[in-house]
Amino acid sequence: MPIDPARPFLPVRIAVLTVSDSRDLASDKSGDLLVARLTAAGHILAARALVRDEVPAIVRALTAWIDDPTVDCIISTGGTGVTGRDVTPEALEHVCEKQIPGFGELFRYLSFQTIGTSTIQSRAAAGVARGTYIFALPGSSGAVRDGWDGILASQLDNRHRPCNFVELMPRLREGEAPR
């Protein structure tokens, strides 16, 4: 997709959340890959954490970052499958005011090209909570590549034409009652 070189790049402040019962930050390859990709693109790593596959823990981490004015966007990896412990989409339901259904649809389309019908097991999701974008990717490095390279790298670049998520950021809280 076209990048408008006449527009100056605006870095997005992104928090990365890994959801896993089996990893720690030292063994979090998909989180490391996501951090490497977003910083290489010129964005700012605002925060990083790892939590277990438990709705309350995920909601606490998301809420803290949603309430933090230094975080524009949250990208999570892990917990989007169909097993009993995969609860990231359920946690998003607790915090998001608006869903972005096209994100999961586009993610599965892109993922189908690399892993075929196995993509049906992904419940990649996205939404907006009090002016903060939240994107939930599966926990594999391949899924991070598909999600970042195929969607987020361009949609989080304000120079991407014809439109992008960044240019909508100032308007995400329209219609809210004043605080």
Answer yes or no: is 174 within a domain: no
Q: What is the mean pLDDT of each run of 10 residues along the chain (179 residues)?
A: 90 98 92 98 98 97 97 97 95 97 97 96 97 97 97 98 95 80
Answer yes or no: is 176 within a domain: no
Q: How many domains does the chain have?
A: 1
Q: Which domain holds residue 68?
A: 13-168
pLDDT confidence of residue 144: 97
Answer yes or no: is 21 within a domain: yes
Contact 110, 153 (CB under 8 A): no
Distance CA 121, CA 108 (A): 9
pLDDT confidence of residue 176: 78
pLDDT confidence of residue 175: 80
Answer yes or no: is 40 within a domain: yes
Q: What is the dihedral of CA 95, 93, 155, 114, to 10 degrees?
A: 140
Answer yes or no: is 177 within a domain: no
Total residues found in the chain within this entry:
179
Answer yes or no: is 178 within a domain: no
Answer yes or no: is 179 within a domain: no
Q: The domain that contains 126 carries what CATH number? A: 3.40.980.10
Contact 127, 99 (CB under 8 A): yes
Answer yes or no: is 137 within a domain: yes
* Residue written as token pair 């097991």: 121
* Residue 141 amino acid letter: S
pLDDT digits (tens, 9 = 90+) for 85-107: 999 999 999 999 999 999 999 99
Question: Biggest alpha carbon distance in the chain?
Answer: 48
pLDDT confidence of residue 179: 61
